[in-house]
Structure 1
Amino acid sequence: MNVSKINRVLVTGGAGFLGSHICERLVEAGHDVICLDNFFTSQKTNVAHLLGRPNFEVIRHDVTLPIFLEVDQIFHMACPAAPGHYQFNPIKTVKTSVMGSINMLGMAKRCGARILLASTSEIYGDPLIHPQPESYWGNVNTIGVRSCYDEGKRVAETLFMDYHRKNKVDIRIVRIFNTYGPRMHPYDGRVVSNFIRQAIQGEPITIFGEGEQTRSFCYRDDLVEGIFRLMNNEQNVIGPINIGNPSEFTIRELAELVVQLTGAKSSIEKRPLPPDDPTRRQPDITLAKKHLSWEPTIPLREGLQKTIDWFRTIDLDHYRPPTPNYV
């Protein structure tokens, strides 16, 4: 595929946190972009600034239902990703990952389009290997409350590989680790947005357990750059490839840093650990370095400050919690 030409590009979940930035970058590059979203956990304001552009359009549609479009590339980003949201309607979450992938892969097969799957570090479950390389098969509870998302994404990866092997569909699979940055939904239930929102509102910051579980936080710009490098590589590197920041922090360390950067007086309150919450999470990015010449460049302190600055510019009254399940 000649990536220098103008492509017709579909971005499912295109009004979401990451999807909107992918749309923005594609529009700026001159591509003809279709943003497909059902606006369950996304925000129209994320793409409002693109609506007047002649090479951008929005379609309200649920990926679990078929749709017929003519495209050259598909960024398949659609799926609730925060635990409170994907557990709100777990059956719909599985359908989004499985039926949504079948519909998008069918389109890619018909159009001869390249398609990228936004998979997740959650496919590793509560890992017994640390850090997690792509060769690790994971430690996932198939019947737990997080299984709808974890197993849904694992099946999506299976579908992508089978369409590639049997139907020669041109695929890419990226495993996304914890990501943060401007345009996170303030009520998405993720730890970074929870902590910042609670801090700037002067509320207690809530952590689960003692906060000793670890995560590796990748700033949005670094993550999106990795996605584009994987999508546009012409070396037949299809993945799966981990994209994330290998710098590991405890949740308590994150909470303390947010308090420091916001200047908040928030106390830290402990709540019971949720079921199947991974104790450690850190990507092995050896393959990304080797095949994509990619590694993150923005440290947590800098990225958090940018995110906090953005949170201070928004009116929280203009956002509604997508589900009751948020901290």
Structure 2
Amino acid sequence: IVDYYARQYGIKSIITRLANIIGGRVTHGVIIDFVNKLKSNPNVLKILGNGKQRKSYLYIDDLIEAFFVLETRDNNTFNVYNVGNEDWITVDEIANIVMSEMNVNPKIIYEDAGEGRGWPGDVRFMLLDITKIKKLGWKPKLTSKDAVRKAVKDVLNKN
């Protein structure tokens, strides 16, 4: 439908498929969940799934830059882009970063919904192919791990 309206009415339209966006004023997600759980009880951290889920995380500043690049460098009436990182990080690694930044060492309890999933429908592995947007000259400045660490600091510094 978006493609039709873009071409029919000459409206520039870009659809983006996004990785997990973190940092800044983001108010939900695994980082917020872990921080809140550890503030409530620094002795125990419940992790949904088996901790081995691997996903790509993109810091909000990289997303904003990607949108700017798409607006200024894509001259098509309609296009679709994946916007994410070139790597991924496990839930266990995210937990370790949160624990390190909070200076806590809790007991980890896994709540596996089956097949290593945190909940029914949870995607265990996610990494978008960003080749297309990279051809416009964009790529993320932060890796998934660096983005997570920066996002954890954002959450801890705003409280």
Where on the TM-score scale, by shorter chain, does this alignment land: which range?
0.7 to 0.9
TM-score by length of 2: 0.83
CA contact (8 A) 2:22 2:57 kept: yes
- Where does structure 2 lack aligned partners over 5 or more consecutive residues? 114-118
Aligned to 1:169: 11
Aligned to 1:267: 107
CA contact (8 A) 1:208 1:272 kept: yes
Aligned to 2:35: 196
Which of 212, 215, 218 aligns to 2:58? It is 218
Within a 5 Å distance, the mapping from 1:65-76 to structure 2 comes to none
Supply the distance in 2 between the matched residues of 1:227 and 1:275 (Cα, whole angstroms): 32
Aligned to 1:303: 147
Q: Which runs of 4+ in 1 moved over 6 A?
A: none
Supply the distance in 2 between the matched residues of 1:304 and 1:221 (Cα, whole angstroms): 13
Supply the distance in 2 between the matched residues of 1:210 and 1:302 (Cα, whole angstroms): 22
Within a 5 Å distance, the mapping from 1:284-303 to structure 2 comes to 284-290=129-135, 292-303=136-147
Report the CA distance between 1:270 and its aligned residue. 1.4
Query: Which of the two has higher C-alpha Rg?
Result: 1
Which of 10, 14, 20 aligns to 1:178? It is 20
- When residues 170 and 235 of structure 1 are mapped into structure 2, their CA distance, relative to the original with a 3 A threshold, is closer
Report the CA distance between 1:210 and its aligned residue. 1.0
Report the CA distance between 1:249 and its aligned residue. 1.7
CA contact (8 A) 2:89 2:145 kept: no
Instruction: Note the alpha carbon deviations across 1:258-278, whole angstroms, 9 max, x for none.
Output: 212321222222123211111
Aligned to 2:2: 160
Aligned to 1:206: 46
CA contact (8 A) 2:6 2:77 kept: no
- Where does structure 1 lack aligned partners over 5 or more consecutive residues? 1-158, 316-327
Q: How many pairs were matched up?
A: 153
Aligned to 1:42: none
- When residues 227 and 234 of structure 1 are mapped into structure 2, their CA distance, relative to the original with a 3 A threshold, is closer
Report the CA distance between 1:219 and its aligned residue. 1.1
Within a 5 Å distance, the mapping from 1:84-99 to structure 2 comes to none
Within a 5 Å distance, the mapping from 1:122-141 to structure 2 comes to none
Aligned to 2:157: 313
Instruction: Note the alpha carbon deviations across 1:182-203, whole angstroms, 9 max, x for none.
Output: 2111xx2x11221233334426
